[in-house]
Amino acid sequence: MTEPFPVGIDGLAFAGPAAYVDLADLAQARGVDPAKFTRGLGQHRMAIASPCEDTVTMAVEAGAQVLQAFDIDPAEIGTLIVGTETGVDHSKPVAVYVHDLLGLNERCRTFETKHACYGAMAGLTSSMDWIASGRARGRKALVIASDIANYGLGTPGEPTQGAGAVAMLVDRQPRLLEIQPASIGDYTRQVMDFWRPLYSKYALADGQYSIQCYLDALAAAREDAVGSRQDLLGELQACLYHVPFVRMAFKAHQRELEMEMGQAISKDEPEQWHQLQDSYAKRCAPWLTLNAEIGNIYTGSLFLSLIDLLRKAGSKLAGQQVSLFSYGSGCGATYCLGKITECAGEWEARLDPSAQLAARRRLSIDEYEYMVRAGEHADRLESLNPDDYGLSGGLYYTGTRDDRRHYESV
Ligand SMILES: CC(C)(COP(=O)(O)OP(=O)(O)OC[C@H]1O[C@@H](n2cnc3c(N)ncnc32)[C@H](O)[C@@H]1OP(=O)(O)O)[C@@H](O)C(=O)NCCC(=O)NCCS
């Protein structure tokens, strides 16, 4: 029997809004010890989208970047999937706006996936299946995760907001990460841990319960992927997780180590606690700096961590195995194993969004709150001026006229 060809992630790019809030400023405004946000949650900044920046504009920017950085002709894309839980229409998919604005071929399968923070993983695995089945006929898939995390002013979730898009090329013989189909494990259960009713701009969350649901889903999806293996972590150079806030990755890693040790790990047992801290410091912490700077980007957050890993260690970890865990509230999850390719290191510089992040504008809390309130009505406004939010040099949402959304390059 011939070996199946490897399929996986061939290119990656991040794009996000032009402004951010520093969590030290937010802590001061809310009368909270800043250490709760920085150490307790592990977050430092959160990207804030203005009313002119939405799921479409960020997805287009990330998509354009990945095509350019990885030298792909738009005509080579045969499937476009946008994973989002913050779409702009109840019916029309974000993906079809993106298809048009990126100038993709009309002979392209295009759709949106929604399952809270799981939409992009659903898009990634279904486009891998599309390629493996032979239906792709040599074409590539473009999967884009794009979201704006909005919990509302003064809520427990407020410091875990963020916004941004990650675009991924999916192809055979990928240049960055091969994913082994036999290692993919899935899990689904109906739970009310986080949701957003049709009438609300803001997500509702049973925060502590959602953490439990996440950890239960991790254990179940991992078991579906690799069974009850107790020696997996030793083979992995990096463990990447869905990152609603950075500290969640620590809790997730603790759960995985506990599964391997067959017992709970407590701070009161210094030896086990050190083992956990060492493993986290080696396999997780180095790849969480972008998440700490950008915040929760929902369905793209796992892949933001993957960008961080590959931009820093693509060459050092060539040929090494990593794990990926995606969780979407509600809930659905996938755990899988991937191998960093031998040539991944060649792309380190092109993956690095540092210059984009350094150009962001720091908002005062008054400006941030104004922006949030303005965003509540933006879908109904006829005319929006990007200049009012200090924006230029990009594609922006400029208002809804005759019930149609308008996008313009300014
Ligand atoms: C995650 C969430 C529940 C936390 O909100 P909260 O209940 O106000 O926060 P907590 O009181 O649990 O504090 C958060 C952490 O900061 C720590 N902390 C609190 N005050 C602190 C301080 N002054 N210094 C350092 N750490 C502090 C807490 O001990 C806790 O850490 P732990 O979980 O490791 O014990 C909230 O942000 C939320 O609802 N988020 C949205 C839903 C979500 O992200 N779910 C995750 C799964 S998808």
Residue 5: predicted pLDDT: 86
What is the reported pLDDT for 2? 44
CA–CA separation, 91 vs 380, rounded Å? 17
Q: Which of 44, 115, 242, 253 is catalytic?
A: 242
157 CB less than 6 Å from ligand 1?
yes
- Give 10-residue mean pLDDT values along the chain (410 residues): 78 98 98 98 98 98 98 98 97 98 97 98 98 96 98 96 98 97 96 96 96 98 97 98 98 98 94 97 98 98 98 98 98 98 97 98 98 94 96 96 96
What is the identity of the amino acid at 77?
Answer: I
pLDDT score at 1: 43
- The secondary structure of the chain in percent helix, strand, coil, rounded to multiples of 5, reads 40, 25, 35
- Residue pointed to by tokens 């540092």: 354
Judge whether 99 counts as a catalytic residue: no
Give the position, in ligand 1's atom list, of the atom nearest the Cα of 247. 34
**Residue 269 annotated to the active site:** no
Structure tokens at 367: 């400006």
Q: Is 330 in the pocket of ligand 1 (CB under 6 A)?
A: no
Ligand 1 within 6 A of 213 CB? no
Q: Mutation test of ligand 1: which of 30, 44, 150, 160 has the most ligand atoms closer than 8 Å to its C-beta?
A: 160
CA pair distance 122, 118, nearest whole angstrom? 6
How much is the pLDDT for 306?
98
Ligand 1 mean position, distance from CA 41 (Å): 6
Residues 22, 55 contacting (CB under 8 angstroms): no
Topology (CATH level 3) of domain 7-409 = Peroxisomal Thiolase; Chain A, domain 1 (3.40.47)
Prediction pTM value: 0.97
Give the whole-angstrom CA distance, residue 251 versus residue 325: 13
Task: Tokens 């779409």: give the residue.
Answer: 87
In short, whether 162's Cβ falls inside 6 Å of ligand 1 is no
346 assigned to active site: no
Residue located nearest, by CA, to atom 17 of ligand 1: 40
Distances (CA, A) of 321 to 145, 213, 238, 340: 24, 26, 7, 6
Q: What is the pLDDT of residue 308?
A: 98
Cβ of 328 closer than 6 Å to ligand 1, yes or no, is: no
Q: What contacts 140, CB < 8 A, 6 or more positions away?
A: 10, 72, 76, 77, 78, 169, 170, 171
* CB distance 35 to ligand 1 below 6 Å: yes
Which uninterrupted H or E stretch holds 86? none
Q: What is the pLDDT of residue 153?
A: 97
Closest by CA to 82, choosing from 378, 299, 398, is 299
